[in-house]
Structure 1
């Protein structure tokens, strides 16, 4: 019975892996995006306003976009290798873990 539930959940998720991979990748970028921005800001703080603004726009428009377009297919390939029986549990565990990390970071 329980095995049937795991297989059904995993089969359903396997059909949506591209979207699940994008969701996880976007969540990771949201959680750690402010840290990346802070690191970049500390690197360019001594430069002129126009340069700082250009770097920020390039980071947000192209940097995060490229990261997302690289991370999502990579994550999709990794998740596709997981057995259907464990796929649903793994995806739920990843999202719970990311939620806990986000909540912990919010408290800092």
Structure 2
């Protein structure tokens, strides 16, 4: 059992220095997977609006909306991952990336 714990701690130690990048990658990937759905929903709400309004909404959504989502979610994801503790941190990160990959594959088959 001690070997497994040491292995998990080593994995966590390899990943922990890159926590900000890991969190950013997770948030960015989720935005890529679901961003088109958000864009379609917003488009459905404003499709009858004037061209200038649609353009401004699109700029606000992409530049400010997605930017703010990323800025606020990256630290939150980092804190959530750290809640796993030193032993389970690395394994949780790997499992979360597998989950995100599965979500991406499922979403790509849908559309």
Question: Could you list the runs of 4 or more consecutive aligned residues of structure 1 that deviate by over 6 angstroms after TM superposition?
Answer: none
* Alignment partner, residue 57 of structure 2: 55
Matching of residues 15-30 of structure 1 within 5 Å? 15-30=17-32
* Alignment partner, residue 90 of structure 2: 88
Could you tell me whether the CA contact under 8 Å between 1:14 and 1:84 is conserved in 2? no
Matching of residues 1-80 of structure 1 within 5 Å? 1-80=3-82
Report the Cα offset of residue 41 of structure 1. 0.4
Report the Cα offset of residue 54 of structure 1. 1.1
Report the Cα offset of residue 81 of structure 1. 2.0
Q: For 1:91, what is the secondary structure of its paired residue?
A: helix
2:79 and 2:68 map into 1 onto residues whose CA distance is 17
Query: Which residue among 94, 99, 106 is the counterpart of 2:101?
Result: 99
Q: Aligned-pair RMSD on alpha carbons?
A: 1.0
Q: TM-score, normalised by structure 1?
A: 0.94
Q: For 2:84, what is the secondary structure of its paired residue?
A: coil
**5+ residue gaps, structure 2:** none
Could you tell me whether the CA contact under 8 Å between 1:6 and 1:88 is conserved in 2? yes
Q: TM-score, normalised by structure 2?
A: 0.92
2:69 and 2:90 map into 1 onto residues whose CA distance is 25
**5+ residue gaps, structure 1:** none
